[in-house]
């Protein structure tokens, strides 16, 4: 089975393992979400320390909005890394007003509105299976993630 397929399967398994996230031994270090916020917990599959350098995690935050299906939409929020005081563990906080921006392409009359996921700029972080990835986002937001791996082959750049 190709490595990419295995990574996708591992990601799906970790997404479906809700009880594992709630029972993570290091989760006690992270405070509960403040009023108006949600805490999202991602537990990554175990990897050896040597293997983890070959992987990255991309966190994408956004929300579902009703759009015209023609214009490209984007979210005016960012994901910032912070540290749990007294523990030194990283967590990620969505900051900004969350205003939705859009291109201004003319929409044909009668075009039906449709629900679409509008995302902020993704955040790429190092892979660490020993700690949960904790993201605090405003209520109504969705947090998605992808696991990226380094290609098996590297290529030489040409001077120019």
| Cβ pair 77, 65 in contact under 8 A | no
The enclosing domain of 137 has a CATH number of: 2.60.40.550
> Which pLDDT score is estimated for 98?
79
> Which pLDDT score is estimated for 135?
98
pTM for the model: 0.79
Residue 66 domain-assigned (yes or no): no
Residue 155 domain-assigned (yes or no): no
Residue 24 domain-assigned (yes or no): yes
Q: Which residues of 111-144 are buried (b: 16+ CB within 10 A; e: fewer)?
A: eeeeebebbbeebebebbbebbbbbbbbeebebe
Residue 45 domain-assigned (yes or no): yes
Residue 10 domain-assigned (yes or no): yes
> Which pLDDT score is estimated for 2?
52
> Which pLDDT score is estimated for 93?
97
> Which pLDDT score is estimated for 17?
44
Token match 């579902």: residue?
64
Residue 154 domain-assigned (yes or no): no
Residue 89 domain-assigned (yes or no): yes
Please report, in tens digits, the pLDDT of each residue of the chain (160 residues total): 454 544 444 444 444 444 467 678 889 999 999 999 999 999 999 998 889 999 999 999 999 999 998 899 999 999 999 999 999 999 999 998 778 888 998 888 888 999 999 999 999 999 999 999 999 999 999 999 999 998 888 889 999 8
Supply the range of the domain harboring residue 29.
Answer: 3-59+77-94+120-149
Residue 159 domain-assigned (yes or no): no
What span, in angstroms and rounded, lies between the C-alpha atoms of 2 and 5?
Answer: 5
Work out how many domains the chain is built from and give that number: 1
> Which pLDDT score is estimated for 15?
45
């Amino acid at each position: 089975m190709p490595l990419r397929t295995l990574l996708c399967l591992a990601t799906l398994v970790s997404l479906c393992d809700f009880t594992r996230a709630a029972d993570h031994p290091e989760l006690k270090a992270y405070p509960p979400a403040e009023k108006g916020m949600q805490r999202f917990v991602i537990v990554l599959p175990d990897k050896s320390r040597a293997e983890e350098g070959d992987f990255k995690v991309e966190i994408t935050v956004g929300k579902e909005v009703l759009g015209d299906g023609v214009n490209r939409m984007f979210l005016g929020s960012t994901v910032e890394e912070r540290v749990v005081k007294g523990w030194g563990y990283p967590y990620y906080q969505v900051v900004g007003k969350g205003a939705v921006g859009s291109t201004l392409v003319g929409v044909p009359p009668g075009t039906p509105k449709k629900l679409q996921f509008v995302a902020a700029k993704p955040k790429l972080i190092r892979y660490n299976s020993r700690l949960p990835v904790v993201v605090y986002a405003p209520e109504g937001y969705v947090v998605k993630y992808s696991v990226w791996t380094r290609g098996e082959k590297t290529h030489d750049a040409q001077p120019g």
